Amino acid sequence: MAVAEAHTTVSAARARRRGRLLPSDAGRAVNWAAACMLLMVTAVALLAPLLAPYNPLAPVSMPLQPPGHGTFLLGTDAIGRDVLSRVLYGWRSSWFAALAVIASGVVIGGFVGVFAGMSGGWLDNLLMRVTDGFLALPAPVIAIAVVAALGASFFHTLLAVAIVWWPFYARIVRGEVRALAARPHMAAARLAGSGRLRLAGRHLLPGTVPAIVITASLDVGNLVLTLAALSFLGLGQPAPAPELGADTARNLQFLLQQWWIPVMPGLAVFLLALIANLAGDGVRDLMGDR
């Protein structure tokens, strides 16, 4: 996960503010371009219903048409569905699922981290031990257990992953809150009569935003791969729903002849994870320059 890297980034940002040289303008441009990739990926996910040339669930041509045949840019699958349309809808599903899990992790982990960091003492220790307990839970095993108990569905898989994802954010937010609470301006705010809620809302929460943004941006790629792996294992939406991991797994028997059917969804997962990691690096560097 991105916990250690986020702490390193925050420390590097503070060091640069103490006088180190900022990256060159060329480096800034590269970082901005990488960060803008997040917007591009989100735009493709939002516009997938408009970009997809066909219904991803319905056969539209002869089966096993190769890429570039007729109007089928990525070919057709074993029952004649357009591979490009299924990849676009699977892209949309994977991206928004990753963002949903990260959003839940930021909200739950942020609340736990702020509460623990402000409380201190035995309550802080208790919450961190509970957090450590959740960190020890393996995501695939929890996903299998949740799906076995509640039934196979994409929502249940997301629920299982969210259960084990929030502790990373709780750890980071708690560390940032503890560091911010020891600064002179916090002591001045307390002397001025600020209550706990005001301290949290005006001073602590805004100070944790850079670390949260950096961690979340670096985390998207890991989460895309995790969800794709669980989908590959059959823990996602049931067929015929378009999912990148599941479409790769269901069509492995075509790998040596009609290679495009399993390879194109897998390539989409690779591109999503690569773009997310490059964009995360760009966001980290840009936030570190501030």
**pLDDT above 70 (res 279):** yes
Return d(Cα 285, Cα 231) in angstroms, integer.
Answer: 32
Return d(Cα 208, Cα 174) in angstroms, integer.
Answer: 9
pLDDT band at 289 (very low <50, low <70, confident <90, very high): low
Q: Which residue has the higher pLDDT, 189 or 172?
A: 172
Instruction: Indicate the pTM of the whole model.
Output: 0.81
What phi and psi values does residue 69 have, to the nearest 5 degrees?
A: -80, 120
- The percentage of the chain sitting over the pLDDT mark of 90, rounded to a whole number, equals 28
**Which has the minimum average pLDDT: 161-165, 174-178, 202-206, 219-223?**
202-206
* pLDDT value of position 51: 93
**pLDDT above 80 (res 274):** yes
Query: 82: which strand partners?
Result: 76
* Residue 179 amino acid letter: A
- With the CA atoms of 102, 105, 106 and 110 taken in that order, what torsion angle do they form, in degrees rounded to the nearest 10? -170
Q: Which residue has the higher pLDDT, 122 or 11?
A: 122
**pLDDT above 60 (res 6):** no
* pLDDT value of position 20: 41
Which letter, b or e, does each residue of 125-163 get, where b requires 16 or more Cβ atoms within 10 Å of its Cβ?
A: eebbeebeebbeeebeebbbebbeeeeebbebbbbbbbb
State mean pLDDT over 260-289.
86
**pLDDT above 80 (res 158):** yes
Return d(Cα 286, Cα 29) in angstroms, integer.
Answer: 10
The residue behind tokens 């929890």 is 142
Residue range 181-212, pLDDT digits in tens: 776 666 676 666 666 666 666 667 777 888 88
**pLDDT above 90 (res 46):** yes
Average pLDDT, the chain: 82
State mean pLDDT over 123-137.
87
